[in-house]
Structure 1
Amino acid sequence: MTALDNAFHNLHQNGLLVLANVADAGGARIVERLGGKAVATSSAAMAWSHGYQDGNKLPLDLLNTTVKSMARVLSVPLTVDIEGGYSDDLEQVGQVINAVLAAGAVGINIEDGVGSPELLVRKIDVARKVANQAGVKLFINVRTDVYLKNLFPAEQRLEELLKRAALYASAGADGLFAAGVVDSNDIATVCRDTKLPVNLLSRDGLPSPDELKRLGVRRLSAGSSIAEFLHGAMGAMVRSFLDNGQLDTHALKAHTYGELNALMAVKTE
């Protein structure tokens, strides 16, 4: 474990770490085979693959078995998106983190979402304590959703993001996932004003990878985009086959995040 956790930390020191987020062991194997220096999960992709909505819905046993199956086929570091820890109860958050570490992960994403930054600070503390007990130099990548979920008016977002970045850095975070930031000036400011390696989410309007490197970004994530396309393509092929018995690949397109999350809603719990 020590070699992989150290390796993952080192991947954030120079250049741009590109992570093609996946949902399962097969996807993980493909990413490594194609040259991925590390493998990351997408919480949404993983939830959808099991028929659950994104948003802290995936049961811990499914999360655990999926991470374990991915770690089994990998020789590169694995980092797991655990949303907000799947709970606001700190004991349960600790159980989730302990499970993914035991399954083979050396990194996590954990997010503030619409919750308070102070709650996420407590979750970061729990994550570090659990990791230390497990003997893992865990890379805690903290996602702030100030931009992604439009939590503040546009003119206040940068100031709020930087305030949270400083708070999370002081709490012991190893990386800052500034999801939703696409403007070059904002990116440059975030990279300059935080000591943490900055992670961005691939979105329309984001500068090129070369420009991101120039601005100081250290990590670029696909998020749920790969899964959105794969599920959309599967839906189109299934529709074609059910309609006429032909596997038509000419009109493949992605589902949107909203379409997929709505599809996975269960009418009766």
Structure 2
Amino acid sequence: MPDLAARARTLLDLHTAPEILVLANVWDVVSARVVAAVDGVQALATASHSIAATFGYEDGENIPLDLHLDMVRRITAAVDVPVTMDFEAGYGDAGETARRAIEAGAVGGNLEDQMKPLDDAVAAVEAVLRAGRDAGIDFVLNARTDAFIRAERGTDRGALVAEAVRRGRAFLEAGAPVVFVPGAIAREEIEALVEGLGPRKLTVISVPGASLPTRELEQLGVARVSTGPFTQRVALTALQDAAAEVVGGGVLPAGTRNLN
């Protein structure tokens, strides 16, 4: 798979470059094409939550895998940049799901640990990376730990950082190039995670009105920032606001562009 191999290498290089990799998550062909056309965009990431919502499913592997992969296949075929897929916790077989994601054209992926026993989580990471090797590509696994987002309210934040680092280091030792820690937003937490995992090893999600600007995340040594379901929510907010304006007697926004 020479084209996939080249895309995978490009995606891996983007994670290790001095500049932070910024990924505005997409959910269908038109969103992928619109984001890919933005100056400076060098790769795309799909959002599982957003793809599920597009078809009327709740998040959490409720969308059938075949349907999910079909959308990913359509996205990868529509753009010329590397695409990484969010395949949640692997749909019960992380290695097989990664194999099928690669067949659909994805060269990277997110894998949730869901705070399973660490040995099981590491085995899933190893299975995904093995699928990449079997396909002849350097599959870029964004190994996610849910230490923050699955913690009980009031849990000591320092303890969460320590647990995320413990699990993240295990994923890095298993071969994952980066570790995704959703829920880590505060500067001091991000600084501690970068110190614990190493520079250019941490990836985070940008939360509207709460996260640090991407330029500051870059200065802190973060490798990658993505937007998860929030880009779709931005689009839907604009849609609902425009509909309300027209229904209320107004007009559509004057700055609307012909993007499709």
Normalised by the shorter chain, which TM-score bucket?
A: 0.7 to 0.9
Instruction: Describe how 1:153-232 pairs up with structure 2 within 5 A.
Output: 153-195=156-198, 197-203=201-207, 204-232=209-237
Q: Could you say if the C-alpha distance between residues 38 and 116 of structure 1 is closer, same or farther in structure 2, counting changes exceeding 3 Å?
A: same
Instruction: Describe how 1:1-269 pairs up with structure 2 within 5 A.
Output: 1-13=4-16, 14-35=18-39, 36-87=41-92, 92-151=93-152, 152-195=155-198, 197-203=201-207, 204-237=209-242
Structure 2: runs of 5 or more not aligned: 255-260
CA distance in 2 between counterparts of 1:113 and 1:4 reads 28
Which deviates the most, 50-59 or 111-120? Answer: 111-120
In structure 2, the residue matched to 1:263 is none
Give the secondary structure class of the aligned counterpart of 1:56: coil
In structure 2, the residue matched to 1:255 is none
Is contact 2:20-2:225 (8 Å) kept?
yes
Number of aligned residues: 245
> How many Å apart are 1:245 and its aligned residue?
8.4
TM-score, structure 2 normalization: 0.86
1:38-84 superposed Cα distances (whole Å, 9 cap, x missing partner): 00011101110111111111211111211110111111110000111
> How many Å apart are 1:240 and its aligned residue?
6.7
CA distance in 2 between counterparts of 1:234 and 1:86 reads 32
In structure 1, the residue matched to 2:258 is none
CA distance in 2 between counterparts of 1:38 and 1:207 reads 21
In structure 1, the residue matched to 2:257 is none
In structure 2, the residue matched to 1:267 is none
CA distance in 2 between counterparts of 1:118 and 1:247 reads 57
Is contact 1:86-1:96 (8 Å) kept?
yes
CA distance in 2 between counterparts of 1:119 and 1:248 reads 52
Structure 1: which amino acid aligns with 2:86? D
> How many Å apart are 1:95 and its aligned residue?
2.5
CA distance in 2 between counterparts of 1:2 and 1:86 reads 24
Q: Cα RMSD over matched residues? A: 2.1
Structure 1: runs of 5 or more not aligned: 251-269
Is contact 1:40-1:80 (8 Å) kept?
yes
Structure 2: which amino acid aligns with 1:34? V
CA distance in 1 between counterparts of 2:125 and 2:99 reads 13
TM-score, structure 1 normalization: 0.84
Which deviates the most, 44-53 or 92-101? Answer: 92-101
